[in-house]
């Protein structure tokens, strides 16, 4: 059965999960941390190379200050608690997104997590925080423009490969499978450049309920797809026969 090398997940539904239980939203976010742990363990067990989780979007700052503050505190505690264990399992942690708005303590902890796990190679765990796909593209364009303005780059040499090298996660394979939990059918400004040919799977499960069984359902769905990348079905079948 074909397996994705890289899975990207929008972890949606923490607040609704808490509301269904008549609890505050932060209760759902805490339960969501447990779902992250289960998912990382399941992904490792299935031999997948990279996992990218959308933890906090650039638009999430507009949420109530109490919720944002609770999320920041939860991030900090989770990193302190989980990093050593993840490192023991060969997980390399990387944060993508703009860290400027985060408190110094949180930025320092992110850097410490990345440094502690730098040599690991069993799983690339990418955590998107204060991330937006459009901003990712704009920042890449700005870097190329700056190089062109100083004469380091000929604008005529800018192509898709050149641009892709400036985008977040450029050194990892593009996501093969995108999963969004919570029943919504949106990309929500996540990895817009990277998911051009990614297979999309929308799970009705709220994120705190996501587990290995639901991951396997997504993997089965992925395995049933014919990935053509612009080719005809006949070309894909011919290529598969030759391989």
Pair type for strands 50-57 and 6-10: parallel
Distance between CA atoms of 40 and 25, rounded to whole angstroms? 23
Name the one residue in this structure whose structure tokens are 């995108």: 178
Residue 191 DSSP code: S
Query: Catalytic residues, which ones?
Result: 12, 60
Give the residue from 184, 151, 148, 185 showing the smallest Cα distance to 166.
148
Listing from the earlier edge strand, what are the strands of the sheet with 123-131? 91-96, 123-131, 50-57, 6-10, 177-180, 199-202
- Long-range interactions of 97-101: CB distance < 8 A, separation 24+: 97/56, 97/58, 97/128, 97/129, 97/130, 97/131, 97/132, 97/168, 98/58, 98/130, 98/131, 98/135, 99/129, 99/130, 101/61, 101/130
Distance between CA atoms of 89 and 125, rounded to whole angstroms? 12
Distance between CA atoms of 161 and 164, rounded to whole angstroms? 5
What's the gap between Cα 34 and its chain centre?
17
Q: Sign of the CA dihedral 167, 169, 172, 178? A: negative
By three-state DSSP, how is residue 158 classified?
A: coil
């Amino acid at each position: 059965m074909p397996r994705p090398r890289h899975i990207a997940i929008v972890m949606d539904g923490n607040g609704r999960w808490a509301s269904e239980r008549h609890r505050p939203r932060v209760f759902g976010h805490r339960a969501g941390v447990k779902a992250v742990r289960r998912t990382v363990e399941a992904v490792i067990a299935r031999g997948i190379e990279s996992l990218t989780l959308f933890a906090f979007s650039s638009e999430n700052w507009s949420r109530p200050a109490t919720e944002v503050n609770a999320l920041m505190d939860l991030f900090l505690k989770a990193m302190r608690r989980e990093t050593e264990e993840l490192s023991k399992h060969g997980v390399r942690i990387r944060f993508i997104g703009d860290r400027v708005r985060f408190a110094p303590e949180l930025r320092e902890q992110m850097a410490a997590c990345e440094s502690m796990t730098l040599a690991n190679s069993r799983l690339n765990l990418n955590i998107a925080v204060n991330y937006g796909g459009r901003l990712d593209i704009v920042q890449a364009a700005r870097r190329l423009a700056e190089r062109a303005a100083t004469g380091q780059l000929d604008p005529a040499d800018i192509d898709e490969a050149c641009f892709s090298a400036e985008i977040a996660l450029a050194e990892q394979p593009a996501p093969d499978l995108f999963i969004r939990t919570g029943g919504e059918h949106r990309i929500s400004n996540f990895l817009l450049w990277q998911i051009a040919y990614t297979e999309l799977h929308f799970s009705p499960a709220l994120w705190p309920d996501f587990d290995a069984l639901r991951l396997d359902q997504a993997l089965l769905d992925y395995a049933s797809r014919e990935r053509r990348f612009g080719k005809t079905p006949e070309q894909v079948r011919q290529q598969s026969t030759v391989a």
